[in-house]
Amino acid sequence: MKSFFQRLEDRVDAADSILCIGLDPHPNEISELTLKGLVEFCKPIIHATSKYAAVYKPNMAFFESLGAEGWLALQDVLALIPDEIPVLLDAKRGDIASTAKAYAAAAFEHLGVDAMTLNPLLGQDSIQPFLQYDEKGFFLLCKTSNPGADDFQNLAISNGKGTQKLYEVIAEKAKGWNTHSQIGLVIGATQIEALKKIRQNDPQIWLLVPGVGAQGGDLESALNSGLRADGKGILLPVSRAISQAEDPEKAASALCQEINEIREKFIAVSAPIVEPKNDLLSLIGDQLLSSGCVKFGDFTLKSGLQSPIYIDLRRLISYPALMNQVCEAFTEKLKTLQFDRIAGLPYAALPLATLIGQKGNWPMIYPRKEVKAYGTKASLEGVYKAGEKIAIIDDLATTGESKFEAIDKLVEAGLKVQDVVVLIDRQSGAAQTLATRGYQLHAVLQFNDLLHYWRDTHQVSENQIQAVFQFLETH
């Protein structure tokens, strides 16, 4: 199943819209405070705007205020929304973990919504129960549009790295929690400096930007400050401007057109013309980010070190199109080499090697991590003959040291190893280390090329890229 943000990207493209249509049945706008009144208020809005809605955002408070009848009304309203349009429940939940777990179950297991707004002030443990729903999305309150936002969100916080405002700390923490690409932020349209700063520090994150219109936010300023380089990355909530319009469909159409005109101008000015060094940088590099195979933030590695980047290529198996492109690239690289069989290294490279073997019609074997304690007690799996040449397949090369244990098992079985082929060479000495034993490293992609490409295409900020280079230089 696609994640919320993948579905959102698809819907934004299909509708050519970033409108988030609010379903806010204010008591003074509905005919009667009953189940029927709430549904009758929302139904014509959905019918009139479904062509233009990237997302629908029902406000939980207006339904909950009616008690049990309101909950039933919300279920009826959700049933009216077309399946292809994601639903973002505006609930702003935030509580201790056990309570958060119950809130999450209510929203996802009973209502079946696709995303929620959350209040992160209780910390990571209050957010984690929601994140267990891998395919769902979340927008964390960060710098809101209400008049009292500055009472707390602008407070200076000392965190050992200097002083930051509270909303900046929230954004930084969210980046670290966002290990499965599930989190966006709520930044008010009245908070232009915050919009600029958050977008600069995180070029890819989705932002929910309320406050245009009645709350005083300027549409063009908000879009120019918060859009991604591709003209996406913002959801613009609109409710009363549509629900109170004489013709809701006409109002939605006009607003969508106005927004898209600003987006087109923004893209023309902001989107750089980048000629990648090879097609693979754009073909694979973009998707490594969007799939979460490469993440930027603050991560604790197995070694205990704090890293500004995390690479998890095991996620490839959950993205069939990307997996296919990666294996096609491996296959082209392998066609230039001489070998009899390929050997995938457990565990990340086993599915890669399996698909590569099918594409190239190359027989595959693999060295076991632990020798079988029963049956054949084999250290290698598959069919092979002594003297055959083996090309090793792996996902990543860092120092190269981890490859030797597997290579030694192949050599002990009478096989000849000359080439090691990886998807990404992190350029941390692997080629040199392998060369000392007579093995040659081949990489589909070089890590430095990826970093420069992501920076040049404004997918990752300059600060994040520099932090990675600094980390690599010192570790």
The position carrying tokens 């198996």 is 317
Closest CA to 57 of 24, 103, 18, 10: 24
Neighbours of 377 (CB within 10 A): 8
92 is catalytic: yes
How far apart are alpha carbons 328 and 287 in whole angstroms? 15
Residue 55: beta bridge partners?
A: 20
How many CA atoms are closer than 13 Å to the CA of 214, on its beta-carbon side?
A: 9
3-state secondary structure of 246: coil
Terminal alpha carbon distance of the chain: 37
Please tell me which residue in 2, 51, 57, 92 is annotated as part of the active site.
Answer: 92
- DSSP readout, 255-313? HHHHHHHHHHHHHHHHS-----SSHHIIIIIHHHHHTTSEEEEEEE-TTS-EEEEEE-G
Give residues with Cβ within 8 angstroms of 454, minimum separation 6: 285, 289, 460, 465
For residue 70, CA distances in Å to 73, 94, 103, 105, 112 come to 5, 21, 17, 18, 16
Chain centre distance of CA 13: 17
341 contacts 351 by C-beta, under 8 angstroms: no
Burial class (CB in 10 A: 0-12, 13-18, 19+), 412: exposed
Whole-number Cα distances in Å, 58 to 34, 39, 51: 16, 12, 17
421 three-class SS: strand
- The 3-class SS string of 378-408 reads CCEECCCCCCCEEEEEEEEECCCCCHHHHHH
> What span, in angstroms and rounded, lies between the C-alpha atoms of 267 and 277?
23
The set of catalytic residues is 92
